[in-house]
Chain A
């Protein structure tokens, strides 16, 4: 069975600085997807970034980028030039390549961006 672990329950960063959120996972699958979702106080789950396991290149979406280390089963999220609107809970998630699309989530990291 797959598991996803986020070892940082809470983090804080000053506005305009860079922060990295950690995520590790365990799987015997070779073909899968990894995601970072953002959950602001509104509780809406918003997809931040997606990584396909067969792609070696790290995904990037504007200020958000990942460091995907497949052998180490590590998938960290880097937020550059942090903004107050980045304050939220961030979830790392795993999806096996299949026709079911089931997501397995980590416990989440609460990020506070300070002015």
Chain B
């Protein structure tokens, strides 16, 4: 069966510091991968998605970037964090091709201080 791992679960970082959140999927190949952000008490907003290695699409302009160095690995990064980057970040995957649903990781709560 397929599983998705996301870490760390919580992170407190000072303003101006770098960020790296990692997500890996097991038990499938060539998945679509996604990073979503959830502001406090709000719905999820899609930040990035990837349909293949090295293929990254950005949905909203922001201080963050994403990379997909391997088929089942998706990384969310920032060179210098802003206070506004605080939030709950969720990685998700979908089967490639005929996509009918998405499966989510357990999320990372990021607090920028």
For residue A107, CB closer than 8 A to chain B, the reply is yes
The majority secondary structure among interface residues of chain B is strand
Stretch at the interface among A12-20, A40-48, A61-69, A73-81: A40-48
For residue B99, CB closer than 8 A to chain A, the reply is yes
Give the A interface residue count (CB, 8 A).
25
Q: Which residues in window 11-50 of A have CB below 8 A to B?
A: 33, 35, 37, 42-47, 50
A84 proximity list for chain B (CB < 8 A): none
Are A99 and B51 in contact (CB-based, < 8 A)? yes
A44 proximity list for chain B (CB < 8 A): 104, 106-107
For residue A56, CB closer than 8 A to chain B, the reply is no
Place the interface of chain B in its size category. Answer: 20 to 34
Are A50 and B100 in contact (CB-based, < 8 A)? yes
B43 proximity list for chain A (CB < 8 A): 4, 91, 105-108
Partner of B34, one of A33, A46, A47, A101: A101
B74 proximity list for chain A (CB < 8 A): none
| A95-B27 Cα distance, complex, nearest whole Å | 24
Q: What residues make up the interface of B, taking CB atoms closer than 8 Å to A?
A: 32, 34, 36, 41-46, 49, 51, 57, 59, 88, 90, 92, 94, 96-97, 99-104, 106-107, 109
Task: Given contact pairs A37-B104, A52-B100, A108-B42, enumerate 7 new A-B contacts (beta carbons under 8 Å).
Answer: A33-B100, A43-B106, A43-B107, A45-B92, A47-B102, A95-B101, A98-B99
